[in-house]
Amino acid sequence: MAAVETTLQLTVDKILIYYDLPQLFIAKDQVDGKYVCMNVDSENEYPKYISIRVSTNKLNELILGKMDLRTAFQSSETGVWYFVTFNENGDYITDAINFSVVDEKYLPEEGFFFPEIETNDNLIIKEATEKNNAIVHLSFSDAFNRESMDIELLGDFIKLFQNLVKYSYKKAVSTVKNRPDLERSENYTLRAFETSPGSFNIHLESAAKTDLFGYSNVEIALKRIDEIIGDVSQKDALLDKIKTYRGHAVNAYKKILENIIDNNINVSYKWTSPFNNKVTGRKINRIYAEKAIEIMTGKDDLGSEVREFVGIVTEVDYDKGTWRIIDEEDNKPYSGKSTPSLEGITIHTKRYKFICDEVVEMIKITQKEKTSYNLLSFTELR
Amino acid sequence: MATTYYEILPESCPEIDAKPASNEKFYRLIRAKPAINGDFQSKRMKQPNALFKDISECILSAVSIYKQTEMDIKKLPSLKGKIPAIITLTPTDGLIKQTFTNPHYSWWRAKEFEIENSITYI
């Protein structure tokens, strides 16, 4: 074999197999060319990989399980193979080589495929791979399985689903402190890029980019939605799970269920991401929605989102029952109304803890949300 | 009681959402029978100075295991010839977390882990 003087710097796009170190991964070069890299020696201080540049077609054949890894590495579309090693900065650097026949020690055994993919989920996996992003397929059909839908109803459901994702995400990250990156709205925002027949399918992707390992923050929400749309025959277990998302997320979920019942619509979704690499999802029909609503009926506190503010009260109107407090945690003002009397509160000098019910309303005309707070109780702090 | 780990781990490691195993079975490749401690050491322990800038130090300090009793990863060039084994991890054997592609887990091994009582050869 003769070495060709072609040195490239690769960056990892997606790790497919990890075993004590990356064993198999997809990488890209500076011009977005895709490479499949496979570990051939992990005993030395730095591992050594063999790599081939792959076209989108060949990559898809690998992803879809139409080609095994051995076949892929036995021939190179460019006629060049690469050894990939680390340089002193930990960058992946290629060293091009020409093989007439690839040495057996650099080849996997026959029948090794990329991590398993269910055949009926090929499209969503393919989209997740090509876009390197989390993908959601949201599907609708009416009681007659018709592939068309009232546009107003469609708009409502898409908005409701986005709200469910948004509030599930916010609930999940609400306990994480000092991570402003997690608070960005792009983390939970979905964007439509395609439709397909079957039932009426809308293909959505995360508005945020994935990390190095193909992980998308929207997965935080999608995993939780999978959980709350659980087995309705296990009432107590499901209610316990739903309780952990009490507040806006449960309200959004209930609205979806109520709409399904009112309109006799079947709604399903499935999702995947390059990191997750498996497809999960749920289907909700009218019967399921009725059972789920029944489980939540009478549990009024499920929809209550309790917020706590600690700080100095800057305004109080005892007659109108309104107040304003500067929360010490984010240094922002919050205002609202009060259920208990505000008598006894001193402004500007003393610190208080306010326990409030947070209510989010959609303004019909602008479709924007309005958040308001109702003070449930307060305590003077020393 | 706080867990004592087999390896020196970086700060904030194991990761916050790692959990104890509950008598679950995992797949691991070993060099030869019987398995020895070296078969359950992380990349970081084996190669303390190697630089892997894409992988966190915490993950590098974990042992890879698969929550599946049959895997074909030993078909890969660098894993050819290794021997598959099943280990059963109890809550005292350390913490685990699903990382990378399912069913891969990272395992931060506790000192209490006893190879001979935990391993079955396939």
Q: pLDDT value at position A300?
A: 64
Q: pLDDT value at position B90?
A: 96
Q: Is there a domain that residue B30 lies in?
A: yes
For residues A45 and A127, is the Cβ–Cβ distance under 8 A?
no
Q: pLDDT value at position A3?
A: 42
For residues A311 and A347, is the Cβ–Cβ distance under 8 A?
no
Q: Is there a domain that residue B72 lies in?
A: yes
Indicate whether this complex's ipTM tops 0.95: yes
Asked if A38 and B47 come within 8 Å (Cβ–Cβ), the reply is no
A333-344: pLDDT as tens digits: 999 999 889 998
Overall average pLDDT of the A148-168 stretch? 87
Between CA A115 and CA B76 the distance in angstroms is 13
Overall average pLDDT of the B14-18 stretch? 87
Q: Is there a domain that residue B7 lies in?
A: no
A278-287: pLDDT as tens digits: 788 888 888 8
Contacts of B56 (CB under 8 A, 6+ apart): none
- How close A165 gets to chain B, by Cα (Å)? 21
Strand A48-54 versus strand B63-66 pairing type: unpaired
Candidate from A23, A69, A278 with C-beta closest to B78:
A23
Q: How many Cβ pairs within 8 Å bridge chains A and B?
A: 86
Q: Is there a domain that residue B89 lies in?
A: yes
Say how many CA atoms lie within 13 Å of A89 toward its Cβ: 6
The helix-helix angle for A248-263 and A151-173 (nearest 10°) equals: 160
Asked if B73 and A17 come within 8 Å (Cβ–Cβ), the reply is yes
Query: DSSP per residue over A208-265, as a string?
Result: SPP-TTS--THHHHHHHHHHHS--TTSHHHHHHHHHTTTTHHHHHHHHHHHHHHHHTE
Question: What sign does the CA torsion over B80, B83, B89, B95 have?
Answer: negative
Overall average pLDDT of the B64-77 stretch? 89
Q: pLDDT value at position A5?
A: 45
Tokens 């390992």, residue? A213
The pTM assigned to this predicted structure is 0.53
- How close B22 gets to chain A, by Cα (Å)? 20
Chain A residues lying within 8 Å of B58, measured CB to CB: none
Spatial CA neighbour of A220 closest among A178, A260, A172: A172
Chain A residue with the nearest C-alpha to that of B108: A20
Domain containing B109 equals: 19-121
Residue type, A151: I
Q: Is there a domain that residue B11 lies in?
A: no
Chain B residue with the nearest C-alpha to that of A16: B101
- How close B59 gets to chain A, by Cα (Å)? 8
Query: DSSP per residue over A309-345, as a string?
Result: EEEEEEEEETTTTEEEEEETTT--EEEEEESS--TT-
- How close A264 gets to chain B, by Cα (Å)? 36
Between CA A92 and CA A83 the distance in angstroms is 10
Q: Which residues of A lie closer than 8 Å to B, measured between beta carbons?
A: 12, 15-24, 38-42, 45-47, 50, 69, 86, 88-91, 105-112, 115, 212-213, 275-278
Tokens 């309200």, residue? A251
Q: pLDDT value at position A266?
A: 84
Q: pLDDT value at position A71?
A: 96
Burial class of residue A70 in the structure, from the number of CB atoms within 10 Å of its CB (0-12 exposed, 13-18 middle, 19+ buried):
middle
Between CA A116 and CA B79 the distance in angstroms is 19
Q: Is there a domain that residue B8 lies in?
A: no
Q: pLDDT value at position A144?
A: 62
The values of phi and psi at residue B19, to 5°, are -130, 155
Chain B residue with the nearest C-alpha to that of A111: B75
Q: Is there a domain that residue B50 lies in?
A: yes
Candidate from A15, A107, A277 with C-beta closest to B77:
A107
Tokens 């050894």, residue? A83
Q: pLDDT value at position A135?
A: 94
Q: Is there a domain that residue B43 lies in?
A: yes
Number of domains in chain B: 1
Asked if B101 and A115 come within 8 Å (Cβ–Cβ), the reply is yes
Candidate from B47, B100, B102 with C-beta closest to A45:
B47
Overall average pLDDT of the A179-190 stretch? 86
Overall average pLDDT of the B20-39 stretch? 94
Asked if B76 and A108 come within 8 Å (Cβ–Cβ), the reply is yes
Chain A residue with the nearest C-alpha to that of B27: A19
Candidate from A23, A91, A278 with C-beta closest to B102:
A278
SS3 A145: coil
Say how many CA atoms lie within 13 Å of A290 toward its Cβ: 8
- How close A276 gets to chain B, by Cα (Å)? 6
Asked if A20 and B63 come within 8 Å (Cβ–Cβ), the reply is yes
Candidate from A88, A115, A212 with C-beta closest to B54:
A212
Quote the radius of gyration of chain A (alpha carbons, Å). 27
Candidate from A20, A39, A213 with C-beta closest to B64:
A20
Question: What sign does the CA torsion over B5, B7, B13, B19 have?
Answer: negative
Instruction: Please give the structure tokens belonging to residue A245.
Output: 């998302």
Which range, of A22-26, A188-192, A210-214, B104-108, averages the lowest pLDDT? A210-214
- How close A47 gets to chain B, by Cα (Å)? 9
Spatial CA neighbour of A63 closest among A141, A126, A150, A146: A126
Q: At residue B115, does pLDDT exceed 50?
A: yes
Asked if B54 and A12 come within 8 Å (Cβ–Cβ), the reply is yes
Asked if B104 and A46 come within 8 Å (Cβ–Cβ), the reply is no
